Every structure is written in structure tokens, then in C-alpha cells.
């Protein structure tokens, strides 16, 4: 489960495009922030993706990615041209291919490496789908195959939704605000499509008498979409964006990525336990439908006068963590990343940024509301400080070197703050009536054992 959103310049407070995504995967599936430089490749070079090899192109752009540690591709990312992309698992009446091919995450990274603008990214993905297809296991410890949708935006302020089914696809141009989730969302506005789309839709039983084609009605597997709460979350993020349309800020996007739905807003004792419904910020819980429902990374990109600022947690559960700035892309050049420690894996490593945060995240889950409240105001204040610091910085010369220094300072301050917050949380004993259910505790105890992590 994931949710991806965009607000084009007409919908934002400062007139710059804002993109955002929560990546939801398995709870022990750590996600790494990685930067890869631009490169020139020899003719005939081959590229090893997650499962298959494909021909390499002559030039690849520099990319900044948030990717599950075990795969070549990425859940979300940006390139040095200001192109940003997020993907979603979507479920069609036509079963996704099980045979190893390109994963949706591979397609995302390939588009970032090979395209400069949103329309070019569509061309890259379309060509790769036609030549190599999509398919294979996308799961970390479980078997999980799916088709993919993409939200693609660029430094020129353009945004496109591309939804696929096997090798076929359709594209919708975004007018103002848009979100996608784990369900097909393109209706009758189809601005581009693959040559085989209509034939594929006919095979699913869509009648030409029902023209114009409504893609979601024609291809979506409504039962699976409902089970994944994709439709509910899509409606929720759309509603939250519409409420702020014309004045959307980075802080608004952070709030949406932390949203737990209307029920949580009305219940001060709400806790992430069991069925989660339309919550955008997901926490894994017991039961087969919730086991892979953990937000393992969160990302926001905003453009100010064409300059991208990436606000990234680098950790799971944005409600328990902090968005910090990274400067990369037009005006900044190659990414200068803070020290995140070693590449995380599926096991606890106290030196790896992602796993260091898990101590705090999982400690909060033991009595969610009061433990989170011990530092929630401090977290908000720290993020406000970072945003103010960035605004002041952009008013000056704002050189790439100074940008790297500012980013390093923000990430260091956030790391120090999280250590203090962990101590405060652990000093607050969980209440008997505030603990999660026995099934929830059992599920997380198993995850912690598997990762080699002790939580109290």
C-alpha cells in the first residue's frame, strides 16, 4: 500500500509544484536513501536490474532514490533534471505476470535515469514495457505481484498519471491536484494510451457500446482494491488536497502523509491496531491484510523558483519521525548526502539510520498516544525550524556547498533530537489500558525477533 500526491503550481501557496509519497511495504523491509552520479556507458553495455538484464543506454542522469534495500529499483526518487516519480501497486481483472521481468520500481528508476521531463518518462516506461514487460515477485518475505501506476512530475510544473496493465497503459494529464493509490484512478480522461490498450480492455469484457472508455471501470479488480483500502485512501488524500487547493504548502503535505483518517482525528486515544481503513500513514498490524502495511519511507519534493528541495524522512512512520531537507537537482548539482551509516538490511543495525529510528517508532507503538505526545510538539517545532532555515538560505546566494552544510546540520539535529525523544518515550511506562491488543503485540514481537531488535 502506498499513496502519492501532487499539487501543481496553481494549487500551491508559493506557486511551485509539490510532490509527495508514502511508501508502504513490510515492516522489516528497510529503505535506503541512495544517490548515484550521472554516467556515460559503452556501446553494448548491459544493465542488471532486480531480476533481469537489459541493454544500457549511453548516458544516465544522476538520481536520488528511496529504495528497498534488496532491489535495484526504487519506490520514489528524483533526477538531476528535476524529474520526480512515485509508483503504486494496482490490481486489475487481468492477473499480473509472475515471471521475472522489470518491477515497477525498476521502471521508476530507469525513467529517472533516462528521461528529463514527465512526457519523456512516459515514453521510457512505455518502451520498456513493450520490450521487457513488468512482472516478478515484489515482496520482501512474501510472494506479491502487481501491475503499477506512476505519478510523474517535473521542474516545468507538469504532472502526469500513468496507469499500466501488463504491457499496456494510459496517461492522464494533471490539471491542478491529483493523488493515486492502490487502485486504478484514471476515468474517461485518457490523454495518451498504448496501441494495445483497447484490445486488452475488450478481452476483459468492456463493451464498445459503453464508450467513452472509463479505464478504472474497465480494468480494476474492485474486490482486491477494496481489501487494500486503495479507493478509500485515494478519496481521503484527494479530499485533503482539495481542502487546501490554491494554498498548499510543504507543511500541508507533511500533515497528509501523517494522516490516520477521520476516526483518528476524533479519538485522542486512537492507536494503530488491527484494521486501518483509510489511514494514509500506515502501521503494520496483525492479520494477512495488514502485515505489509507499514510506511517504510516518506518523501516530499517542492520547487522554489525552479530549485527542488527534497524533504525526506529516511525512516519509517512519518508520524514518529522528522522530514529533513536534501538539496539535489537543478541549481544544486550532485547530491551531497549526510552520513546515513551503512546500507540497512532486514536485520537491526544500530549504525544504520533507518534502524536507529525503528527503536523510537516501535517504542511508541507500545502505548501510541501518550508516548507520541511526549515529543510531538518538539517534532513539529524542529520541522518548522528547518523550513524557516531553508527559506532564509534561499534568500541569499544559496550555493551548492552551503546547501550541503545546511542539510548536514538539519539531519544531525534531527538525529540528536530522536535520541532524546527515545529516552523520554522509554521513561513513560505503557499503561495497561493503553497497550495494543494481544494480537498486535504478538505480531510486532515476531517482527522484532526476526530483526534482532529489543523494544521497551
Distance CA 429, CA 432 (A): 9
Which residues sit opposite 324 in a β-bridge?
312
3-state secondary structure of 357: helix
Q: Which of 124, 7, 123, 2 is nearest to 54 (CA)?
A: 124
Instruction: Give the CA dihedral 60, 97, 28, 285, nearest 10 degrees.
Output: 140
What sign does the dihedral 136-139-143-148 (CA atoms) show? negative
Q: Do residues 191 and 118 lie in contact, with contact meaning Cβ atoms separated by under 8 Å?
A: no
Active site residues: 2
Q: Cis check for the bond before 212: say yes or no (omega within 30 of 0).
A: yes
Q: Do residues 145 and 180 lie in contact, with contact meaning Cβ atoms separated by under 8 Å?
A: no
Secondary structure (DSSP) of 35-48: EE--EE--TT-EEE
Distance CA 42, CA 38 (A): 14
Which residues sit opposite 162 in a β-bridge?
150, 171
CA angle 25, 295, 96 (to 5 degrees): 30
* 204-210: long-range contacts, CB 8 A cutoff, minimum separation 24: 204/92, 204/93, 204/94
Distance CA 4, CA 15 (A): 20
DSSP state of 11: G
Cite the DSSP H helix spans in 62-103. Answer: none
Going from the C-alpha of 37 to that of each of 12, 86, 106, 146, the distances in angstroms are: 31, 20, 17, 30
Longest dimension (CA), the chain: 66
Q: Do residues 42 and 59 lie in contact, with contact meaning Cβ atoms separated by under 8 Å?
A: no
Distance CA 324, CA 189 (A): 36
3-state secondary structure of 241: helix
Please report where in the chains the cell 484527494 appears, as a residue. 238
Distance CA 42, CA 55 (A): 11
Amino acid at each position: 500500500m502506498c499513496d502519492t500526491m501532487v499539487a501543481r503550481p496553481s494549487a500551491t501557496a508559493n506557486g511551485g509544484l509539490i510532490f509527495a509519497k508514502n511508501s508502504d511495504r513490510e515492516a522489516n523491509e528497510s529503505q535506503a536513501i541512495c544517490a548515484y552520479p550521472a554516467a556515460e556507458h559503452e556501446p553494448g553495455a548491459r544493465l542488471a536490474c532486480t531480476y533481469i538484464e537489459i541493454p544500457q543506454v549511453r548516458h544516465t542522469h544522476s538520481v536520488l532514490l528511496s529504495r528497498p534495500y534488496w532491489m535495484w529499483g526504487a519506490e520514489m526518487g528524483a533526477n538531476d533534471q528535476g524529474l520526480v516519480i512515485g509508483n503504486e501497486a494496482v490490481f486489475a481483472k487481468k492477473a499480473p505476470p509472475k515471471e521475472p521481468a522489470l518491477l515497477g520500481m525498476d521502471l521508476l528508476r530507469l525513467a529517472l535515469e533516462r528521461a528529463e521531463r514527465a512526457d519523456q518518462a512516459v515514453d521510457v516506461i512505455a518502451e520498456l514495457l513493450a520490450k521487457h514487460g513488468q512482472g516478478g515477485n515484489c515482496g520482501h518475505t512474501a510472494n506479491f505481484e502487481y501491475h503499477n501506476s506512476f505519478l510523474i512530475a517535473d521542474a516545468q510544473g507538469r504532472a502526469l498519471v500513468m496507469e499500466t496493465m501488463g504491457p499496456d497503459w494510459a496517461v492522464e494529464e494533471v490539471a491542478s491536484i491529483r493523488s493515486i493509490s492502490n487502485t486504478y484512478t484514471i476515468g474517461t480522461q485518457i490523454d495518451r494510451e498504448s496501441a494495445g490498450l483497447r484490445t486488452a480492455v475488450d478481452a476483459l469484457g468492456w463493451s464498445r457500446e459503453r464508450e467513452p472508455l472509463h479505464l478504472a471501470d474497465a480494468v480494476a479488480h474492485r474486490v482486491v482494491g477494496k481489501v487494500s483500502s486503495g479507493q478509500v485512501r485515494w478519496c481521503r488524500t484527494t479530499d485533503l488536497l482539495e481542502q487546501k487547493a490554491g494554498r498548499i504548502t510543504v507543511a500541508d503535505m507533511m500533515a497528509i502523509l501523517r494522516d490516520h483518517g477521520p476516526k483518528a482525528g476524533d479519538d485522542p486515544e486512537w492507536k494503530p491496531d488491527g484494521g486501518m481503513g483509510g489511514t494514509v500513514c500506515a502501521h503494520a498490524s496483525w492479520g494477512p491484510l495488514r502485515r505489509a502495511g507499514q510506511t517504510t519511507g516518506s518523501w516530499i519534493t517542492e520547487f522554489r523558483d525552479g530549485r527542488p528541495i527534497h524533504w525526506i524522512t529516511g525512516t519509517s512512520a512519518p508520524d514518529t519521525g522528522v522530514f529533513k531537507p536534501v538539496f539535489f537537482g537543478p541549481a544544486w548539482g550532485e547530491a551531497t548526502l549526510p552520513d546515513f551509516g551503512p546500507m540497512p538490511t532486514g536485520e537491526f543495525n544500530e549504525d544504520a539510520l533507518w534502524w536507529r529510528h525503528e527503536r523510537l517508532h516501535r517504542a511508541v507503538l507500545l502505548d501510541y498516544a501518550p508516548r507520541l505526545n511526549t515529543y510531538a510538539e518538539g517534532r513539529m517545532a524542529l520541522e518548522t525550524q528547518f523550513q524557516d532555515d531553508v527559506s532564509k538560505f534561499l534568500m541569499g546566494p544559496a550555493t551548492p556547498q552551503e546547501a550541503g552544510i545546511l542539510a548536514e546540520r538539519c539531519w544531525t539535529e534531527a538525529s540528536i533530537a530522536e535520541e532524546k525523544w527515545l529516552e523520554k518515550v522509554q521513561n513513560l511506562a505503557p499503561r495497561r489500558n493503553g497497550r495494543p491488543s494481544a494480537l498486535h503485540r504478538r505480531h510486532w514481537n515476531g517482527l522484532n525477533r526476526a530483526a534482532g531488535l529489543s523494544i521497551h
